[in-house]
Copies of this chain bind each other. A is one copy, B any other.
């Protein structure tokens, strides 16, 4: 028995548009085939969001074919039939014998396919950063050894650069994700109380990230950062085993996710009145955030945004060591640019960024605020919509 496609985030025409851009880039690089192994790029080109990259898996994009061919383990093929726009015949499940097999793996099937299709002697693009998988190692070496006549071309970040500029259809999902991220901040303000365990608050917040808003559930759980006193100087840590107390400060970060598209937000909470130190850094950061947003327009650079933030912060006596953010979209961080002084990446309409102003000042003190924004034709649209305040409980 066969299954029908599940809910599709985009029509087929949207994927063909993206593929046309990728094929143009392939022609520019004089390659005939591109083997896509970045999970985010697979999502971009097909809609696949199931668990991936834990065994060899990837998408063969060929100039000779309209649709890519997706290779994945047999067990995962039905998920690809369900989730992607691809024709059933373009989803190829390889035998389960190749999983946990020291002699051969799924990449061997892809290489065999390239030989069969006469692509083994042509220009073959790879994404080397995603060919060395945790359980298997050495994917890149295998392609070099088993395709001795191919001209192997490093296509790292080629698709990532294309997907920096979102379509209007992608922006619909980004806005839905931003609304989910906002709703979880509202929930946090309801459940963070003295005597409540951090884990119990986290359970409620994550519940909101999954339930979503406006009839649109979250489709995945983003990473969560949840750093309460005395650990507000730590970043990228989840909830702890303790309870909140009077005076606890809590730094929060998460994203809403719809079909892989993430919009992120950070806010700082305090149980009781903020200290002078906290209030002063908050004022500086909000001023910096507004200065940064005011620089956003097509033609400005990523570096310009960071400079505006840093100048404002410096005027108010503060400094942030880390970059001010990065492009955001599928799977949170896009690895193409940084909101960092000196980054000359030019802003274009429908690029989206996480203006990430988390500032871990001392080992025991940090403050966080952020917004996810879109570059418009003439300026900026802030997608997240939560008061820029310290949330006082």
Contacts and interface: CB of A to CB of B under 8 A. Distances in A.
Given A54-B333, A75-B321, A82-B231, A240 B7 contact: yes
Given A1-B363, A207-B204, A236 B76 contact: yes
B50 A322 contact: no
Interface in A318-354: 321-323, 326, 333, 335, 337-338, 340, 343
A6 B202 contact: no
A144 to B, nearest CB: 13
A236 B220 CA distance: 12
A6 B235 contact: no
A120 to B, nearest CB: 23
A134 B78 contact: no
A19 B99 CA distance: 30
A272 interface: no
Nearest to A130: B134
A100 B326 contact: yes
A340 B100 contact: yes
Contact of A82 (B156, B199, B234): B234
Most buried by B among A54, A210, A211: A210
Given A75-B360, A79-B237, A237-B83, A100 B217 contact: no
A254 to B, nearest CB: 11
Contacts of A73: 322
A52 B360 CA distance: 17
Interface residues of A, number: 87
A379 interface: no
Interface string A4-15: 101100000000
Most buried by B among A54, A78, A242, A358: A78
B231 A78 contact: yes
A364 B238 CA distance: 37
A221 B218 contact: no
Interface stretch (A135-143, A290-298, A382-390): A135-143
A213 to B, nearest CB: 11
A241 interface: yes
A87 interface: no
A129 interface: yes
A3 B365 CA distance: 10
A380 B130 CA distance: 38
A67 to B, nearest CB: 19
A317 B326 CA distance: 54
Contacts of A202: 210
Contacts of A239: 210, 217, 219
Contacts of A299: none
Given A6-B240, A74-B322, A129-B132, 6 more contacts: A3-B363, A52-B236, A78-B233, A78-B363, A82-B237, A203-B206
**3 smallest beta-carbon distances between A and B, as pairs:** A199-B217, A100-B338, A51-B236
6 contacts: A3-B234, A3-B363, A51-B223, A51-B236, A51-B237, A129-B134
